Structure 1
């Protein structure tokens, strides 16, 4: 009768059978299981989640670990042998997963006996009675769980995902000077909601493009895939604020709740908190005690200081240098009135950061650091304080120091597109990690659909296109790069990246070089393109051409006073050697080796391996290459271009080299599948 009560039982039996048949295949994952079941990935993910409430990858992992436990109990195989038999080629990773699943390492399986478990009172329960006793105990637990659930406050019950967009508030006052206040209330409402992890809150720029839109709420909801909308309008009358707030259902345009708030201007913080709490209560999203504390925190007790701060924030959000300078004046006036105003210090740091962002010589680094330190001193649990500290270290190029502040800032403000963008750039440009780069680029775009400014959206699509190609998703990368160019055909980087993505399909280096030339002619100060023109010519073994490009690149780099592309000095040095400038070439090569000796990225071993291959120490080069093969999340460019490098012309035929390269490529594509599976299961792919 149980089979009739569980329609998924047959499906799960088939699923388990397929997994068991492929235990020893490490690469057997979601895609392979879907193929074995003759199902699409999406259908498999959905059906397994519904039937088991766990993901497919979790199901496979648990099945492997359970089989591992059986083998350890019933055979004489050691831990390493068992790990390979159940699809863990890394014994250390098997031990880690086993410990997390069972609470102790696999080496202790033989020591864990029935005596380690609580004893049953056999005076009252004989062997035939044990199953019934366990059944009664289980029923009792379920009844207790049901009672707890029934009595638990319903506002703590959470649906799969709830999303909200705070539309720009309207100023009902005839006095346009009050716009900053109404915008500030909208910003505060948004910021409070963004602190809630279990609520997807779209960015201010996503809302801004609908300020004067004629589109209906259901049209916007479908366009952005959002459940709820907050609409607001208000005015300031003397010392009073009147604000009208509505919560609207996205699918039906039905007003779920509305309220008018009348407060004294001095009660602005109570007003902000009340609005946020009312919205959260209405949509019944779970909010933790820590999140409540962050929302209830008052940034300053000085109403005049806060009024000046709001004026500064309005200017800071424009991302314009003149407005950034003006915002600093308001922030400083606010700080003069309240020297402990952490949020004002943090926003001052951000203004200095943006003023220096595109400058080679950083003019405001000291001011950025000083304000960030004060923000952190006065409120170390403020998300903006952590963002300011991260900006300081990013500007100093001390990237590893910035990461903890970015991660903690995101913990305090999980819907911050600003922090998500910085994390994407961190893992894309400074400490490369393809999986994390793609994850944060997707999360950022998911919350920030772009403002009405097509240029901003174009660059968001560019970032995602670049993240996708680095993880090996060629077609999807082209899709987003094309979207980027549709919105802003003059985007100076989209065609640049696109030239290399196209090479992944056609493997035509001559075409790649021609496409790069076209982009360089648009802006002959593009030292990044000059460097790549030299590199492509190097791969083509056209060293005279490569030398000409590198000569121009070095002159331009010196003229601009830049200290960039040191990691490319190996190739530059070899080109100089090839054209007879051996001493200069050696200097470049040695500077590259010195750079990577002190480098923390995953590419250190690869670069040092290439150095030793070049100077003829093949065995040492192989050792470094073998170490590099253990790295995860390497960029697709390694797979695409490494074997084209002339350094390897006398090496790549060696069986040992081929074996290592096969391992690197196989690992890359396995990781490519794992990245997609993880992002699909998280619902952000």
Structure 2
């Protein structure tokens, strides 16, 4: 739907002289939150000139919020304002200010219901794709030849724009007496400087917020030339050859050019994961630029025929979709590295990005002396990309591993091939080796070998940084991530790694936000969720909810969305509210592990042990069925289950789960995994001993836990309400530990608050 909005905005900008803004409400609560006063929230929001409801099969429902408080409310309000619901068009016809967009064929009862409210025939513009047995919303890449309705997406967008223009033109010819009223009300607008059309539009739309789809027209202001950010996205190149087997070469060339651009600090360049989504889902250039938040777009196409390479590249202004520069290359395969380097440097020159001498040296350095090795490397990279972007199938990892090894047969010093093997190893063996004494040592060996041959590989430093973090060496991890960013300042993975490993919330936020600015691919919802959780831990709840909603807008995963909202409420100790959101998640998907466990935990904290035990049993059954009984879930799960079994009178089962948690915590401590580095394992152990009445052991572990330098709202809420500590809750030492946790949280909250103020984000 966001594609529709962007396409409409683009069309309107080419239709009207006035600047156009389109507002679109996709709130999953249908515009209503529990804290909102409905009447006050909507009173001003519905004051718009044109109201465009998206009519789906579920829209025409008198029980829905959107129908009752938006659709009907606008019609009633527009019928009583100075313009009226229906306006007379310049040609003499009459049009409604409600312009429906239909995305499904409706049943007759729904049509009649709409018409009864509209007071006339349901007209509008259809965005419906139909084939025998198919009835769905029209997409921009649908072929009108196969569409029974014979409609084309861009033509329908044009129809909507033209309909809006007719309505606005009609309003522009409104009674001039009304114009005088507006001039009196809105004194900042000088009527003598505007034509009647503009005055009316401005007068009627100042300070309006719109719901569903509203169109806001304001006069263009004279602005100084905008500073264009030096940012570029490199779209997947097209293979001009009928030989699909050569696709890996085109993809590899595109990625090499992208990697070269990423080395330029004066440029912001989203990585391949951000642009891969447009390979099979092409969109207009301005929409892509808007979605990726970049100023420029690079397109390319080409093919390889034997040793001959042909490549066409074109640089475009992302906002205007205007050609800036293009070049056609016909070269021998021997010149592939110099061609990739030249293209990157020419593009940077066109964008006026500064390339330092060190960056130039990095860009011009060939990765290998063997073209055969490079060919196998590109093939391996392609198979690994299939695993990451498409299948998740382990067989593609095995293929990639074989191809990387073949590359090393032709060049045993090919550093990128060693780095590729390290990435493969991480994906294949991370879980299997989690408690191994030699956990991921092969990663350390492979990345170290790679860097011995080429110490300018950001990917190798990033992978090695992750290795050090997992192996209780956080200082080394940070140094590795910083080395990666020194080589590739556009590495979202390095920023994510820094944010992930830091216990300081401000550092986490800074790095997660930087990662967000560089990644618009499938990982973005996860990054947004991590930002939301960091904001919540720092005590900025509104921002946490905002980023949780942003993640939902991208992935549309309502199960995860409501579960995350429940998780945020848990962090604030709002356990009843948490359960409400979690039950909504459960009502959509009864098998989600995250939801099942949190429901068990939250009902347990609320004292409803019967319900808690029910969900914990469902969690264990589901987990064992899909993951196996030996699957390790890092964190705190078994002692929560043990507590509920105890409260339910099942002592034997309770002891089993308490002991299982102790074993797991001790294994994590022994292996030095991140959960122990943050001292959370000691908190979990202390809770079990406190519940059992072994106070000395409880305090021994709590003292270790209290060595943490930074605390979160989540930890403060937990230690204040954790039922496992009820036996010692009122004791002086425990109360002092709680005060220490609160003081650390307040200090971190203040640090984040000051930073947000400095950044103008509060």
8 Å CA contact 1:450–1:460 kept in 2: the answer is no
* Residue pair 2:558, 2:585 contacting (<8 A) in 1 also: no
Does residue 484 of structure 2 align to residue 484 of structure 1? Answer: no
Note if 1:233 corresponds to 2:306.
no
1:348 equivalent to 2:348? Answer no
2:161 alignment partner in structure 1: none
In structure 1, runs of 5+ residues without a counterpart are 1-158
**CA distance in structure 1 between the aligned counterparts of 2:400 and 2:364, rounded to whole angstroms:** 25
Please say if 1:420 is aligned against 2:420. no
Closer, same or farther: CA 617–219 of 1 in aligned 2, 3 Å: same
Q: 630, 651, 654: which is aligned to 1:561?
A: 630
Instruction: Kindly indicate whether the alpha-carbon contact (under 8 Å) linking 2:430 and 2:440 is maintained by their aligned counterparts in 1.
Output: no
When residues 164 and 675 of structure 1 are mapped into structure 2, their CA distance, relative to the original with a 3 A threshold, is farther
Is residue 571–residue 714 contact of structure 2 (8 Å, CA) maintained in 1?
no
Deviation at 1:199, TM superposition (A): 1.9
- 3-state DSSP of counterpart to 2:456: coil
Match of 1:509 among 575, 581, 594: 575
Which range moved further: 298-307 or 319-328?
A: 319-328
Post-superposition Cα deviations, 1:439-498, rounded to whole Å, max 9, x if no partner, equal 3332222111226xxxx5544444443343333332233233334334444465433222
Query: CA-to-partner distance for each residue in 1:7-47, whole Å, 9 max, x for gaps?
Result: xxxxxxxxxxxxxxxxxxxxxxxxxxxxxxxxxxxxxxxxx
**Contact 1:432-1:602 at 8 Å conserved across structures:** no
Contact 1:566 1:592 in 2 (8 A): no
Secondary structure at the aligned position of 1:259 is classed as: strand
Q: In the alignment, what sits opposite 1:314?
A: 382
Q: TM-score, normalised by structure 2?
A: 0.57
Aligned mates of 1:684, 1:302 — CA distance in 2: 51
- Per the alignment, residue 519 of structure 2 pairs with 448
> Do 1:315 and 1:326's aligned partners in 2 also have CA atoms closer than 8 Å?
yes
> What are structure 2's unaligned runs of at least 5 residues?
1-226, 671-675
In 1, are the aligned partners of 2:496 and 2:512 still within 8 Å (CA)?
yes
CA shift in 2, pair 1:583/1:226, >3 Å: closer
Which residue of the other structure, out of 341, 360, 372, is the alignment partner of 1:304?
372
Q: How does 1:62-461 map to 2 (within 5 A)?
A: 162-211=230-279, 215-318=283-386, 319=388, 320=391, 321=393, 322-356=395-429, 371-390=446-465, 404-424=479-499, 426-427=500-501, 432-450=503-521, 457-461=524-528
The number of equivalent residue pairs is 518
Instruction: State the Cα distance separating 1:528 from its structure 2 match.
Output: 4.9
Task: Report whether the alignment pairs 1:634 with 2:703.
Answer: no
Q: Shift of residue 306 of structure 1?
A: 1.0
Q: 1:158-182: per-residue Cα shift (whole Å, max 9, x none)?
A: x995222122333344544443322
Query: How far 1:561 moved relative to its partner?
Result: 0.4
Return the alpha-carbon distance in structure 2 between the equivalents of residues 405 and 666 of structure 1.
Answer: 32
Per-residue displacement from partner, 1:95-121 (whole Å, max 9, x unpaired)? xxxxxxxxxxxxxxxxxxxxxxxxxxx
Q: Is the 8 A contact 1:372 1:392 kept in 2?
A: no
Q: Secondary structure at the match of 2:328?
A: strand
Whether the aligned pair in 2 keeps the contact of 1:458 and 1:491 (CA below 8 Å) is: no
How much has 1:329 moved relative to structure 2? 3.1
Match of 1:65 in 2: none
User: C-alpha distance in 2, partners of 1:310/1:684?
Assistant: 43
Aligned counterpart, 1:646: 723
Q: Which stretch of the first structure deviates more once superposed, 610-619 or 305-314?
A: 610-619
Give the corresponding residue for 1:81.
none
The answer as to whether partners of 1:574 and 1:589 remain within 8 angstroms in 2 is no
1:541 aligns with 2:607: yes
The match for 1:496 is: 563
The answer to whether the Cα contact below 8 Å between 2:711 and 2:748 also exists between their aligned partners in 1 is no
1:188 positional shift: 0.7
Aligned residue for 2:745? 668
> Contact 1:353/1:392 (CA < 8 Å) preserved in 2?
no
Q: 2:542 aligns with which of 475, 484, 504?
A: 475
Task: State the secondary structure of the residue aligned to 1:472.
Answer: coil
Stretch moving more, 273-282 or 557-566: 557-566
8 Å CA contact 1:309, 1:344 repeated in 2: yes
Q: Hey, what does 2:208 align to over in structure 1?
A: none
SS in 1 for 2:297: strand
- SS of match in other structure, 1:261: strand
Cα separation, partners in 2 of 1:391 and 1:491, compared to 1, 3 Å:
farther
What is the CA distance between 1:387 and its match in structure 2? 3.3
CA 1:396–1:597 in structure 2 vs 1: closer, same or farther (change >3 Å)? closer
Indicate how the Cα distance of structure 1 residues 287 and 636 shifts in structure 2: closer, same or farther if over 3 A, else same. Answer: farther
Does the residue aligned with 1:231 lie in a helix, a strand or coil? strand
How far 1:301 moved relative to its partner?
0.4
Change (3 A) 1:596 1:328: closer
Q: Which has the higher helix share?
A: 1
SS in 2 for 1:198: coil
Alpha-carbon offset, residue 610 of structure 1: 5.2
With over 3 angstroms needed to count, the CA separation of the structure-2 counterparts of 1:358 and 1:477, relative to structure 1, is farther
Distance 1:546 1:236, change over 3 A: closer
Change (3 A) 1:537 1:175: closer
Distance 1:494 1:369, change over 3 A: farther
Query: Contact 1:577 / 1:585 at 8 angstroms: preserved in 2?
Result: no
Distance in 2, matches of 1:596 and 1:264, equals 55
**By how many angstroms is 1:217 displaced?**
3.7
Task: Quickly say closer, same or farther: Cα 1:641–1:612, change in 2 above 3 A.
Answer: same
Query: In the aligned structure 2, how far is the partner of 1:588 from the partner of 1:238?
Result: 61
Q: Which secondary structure does the structure 2 equivalent of 1:201 belong to?
A: coil
CA 1:166–1:589 in 2, change beyond 3 Å: closer, same or farther?
closer
Q: Tell me the distance in 2 between the aligned counterparts of 1:208 and 1:611.
A: 48
Q: Deviations over 1:366-414 (max 9, x none)?
A: 8756644532343343222223434556788987875543443333222
* Whole-angstrom CA distance in 1 between matches of 2:656 and 2:242: 70
Q: Residues 397 and 323 (structure 1 numbering): CA distance in 2 closer, same or farther, change over 3 Å?
A: farther
Task: Give the root-mean-square deviation of aligned CA atoms.
Answer: 4.4
Give 1:569 deviation, angstroms.
5.4
Distance 2:514 2:689 in 1: 40
Query: How far, CA to CA, are the matches of 1:360 and 1:511 in structure 2?
Result: 39
Name the SS for the 1:191 alignment partner.
helix
Is the 1:462–1:494 Cα contact (8 Å) retained in structure 2? no
Q: Distance in 2 between matches of 1:638 and 1:288?
A: 46
Give the match for residue 26 of structure 2. Answer: none
Deviation, structure 1 residue 221: 3.2
Do the aligned residues in 2 keep the contact of 1:596 with 1:608 (CA within 8 Å)? no
CA distance in 2, matches of 1:352, 1:415: 24
| Distance change (3 Å), C-alpha of 1:494 and 1:441 | farther
Aligned-residue offset at 1:270 = 1.1
